[in-house]
């Protein structure tokens, strides 16, 4: 599994479809939800996650890449971008990406 759109959360705004650098996402025929048309062509850049305010677009690592079921989404809060990683057990961790703050790594 790579990029996935949760049809229960997606409202079909099309934001993810618009930004995907590979054009691999599209809208369902009824226009109610985005769908991954070419999921195996996903690069993993997470552009779609950053557009999705509902957490419907997610990214996970395939088992071959060391994936163990965690699902990554993104959200914005106070103008800041956060990535949220939800593990298989249901617990999760969020990391602020912090494009504004200096860091020394």
Partner 1 sequence: MSQLPWPARVADIKTGVLIIGGGTAGCAAARRLAELGERDILVLEKASVKRSGCLSAGVNALNAWVGPGASPRDYADYALNDAHGIGDARLLLSMSEGLNGAVEFLASLGLKIHRDSKGAYLSRSWRNLKVNGENVKPLLAGAIRGFPGLKVRERVHVFALTLSRGPDRRIAGALAMDLLSGDILKIRAPKVLLATGGAAGIYAPNAPGSMSHRLWYPPFNVGGGYAMGIRAGAEMTSLEMRFVALRCQDTQAPTGTLALGGGARQLNALGEDFAEKYGNTTSQRVLANRRERERGLGPIRLEAPEAGEGERERALRAYFNMAPQQPLKWLEEERLALGRGERIPPLGAEVEGSEPFLVGGHASCGFYVDPRRETSLPGLYAAGDVAGGCPQKYVTGAISEAFIAATAIASSAAEGPEEDGELAREYLEAALSGGAPGARPSWDRAELEEAAQRAMDLYAGGRGAGYRYSQKGLATALSRIAEIAGMAASLKAVSPKELSLAWELRERLTVAQALVGHLRERRETRWPGFGEYGDFPLEDPGLALFVNSRRLAVGPEKDGKTGEFEFIFRDLESGERLPAPGTEGGAGR
13 binds partner 1 (CB under 8 A): no
Size of interface with partner 1, in residues (CB under 8 A): 46
Which residue, among 53, 51, 52, 11, has the nearest Cα to 28 in the 3D structure? Answer: 11
Q: Which of 45, 54, 55, 75 binds partner 1 (CB under 8 A)?
A: 45
Among 8, 29, 68, 78, indicate the residue that binds partner 1 (CB under 8 A). Answer: 68
In whole angstroms, give the CA distance from residue 13 to residue 79: 20
Of 2 and 5, nearer to partner 1 (C-beta) is 2
Pairing status of strand 80-86 against strand 71-77: antiparallel
Instruction: From 39, 31, 41, 33, select the one nearest 11 (Cα to Cα).
Output: 33
The residues binding partner 1 (CB under 8 A) are: 1-2, 18-23, 37, 40-47, 49, 59-62, 64-68, 70, 72, 81, 83, 85, 87, 89, 93, 95-105
């Amino acid at each position: 599994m790579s990029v996935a759109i949760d049809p229960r959360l997606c409202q079909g705004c099309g934001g993810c479809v618009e930004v995907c650098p590979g054009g691999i996402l599209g809208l369902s025929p009824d226009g109610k939800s985005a769908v991954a048309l070419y999921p195996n062509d996903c690069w993993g850049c997470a552009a779609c996650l950053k557009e999705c305010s509902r957490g419907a677009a997610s990214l996970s690592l395939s088992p071959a890449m060391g994936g163990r079921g965690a699902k990554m989404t993104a959200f914005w809060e106070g103008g800041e971008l956060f990535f949220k990683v939800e593990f298989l057990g249901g617990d999760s961790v969020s990391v602020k990406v912090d494009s504004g703050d200096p860091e020394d790594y």
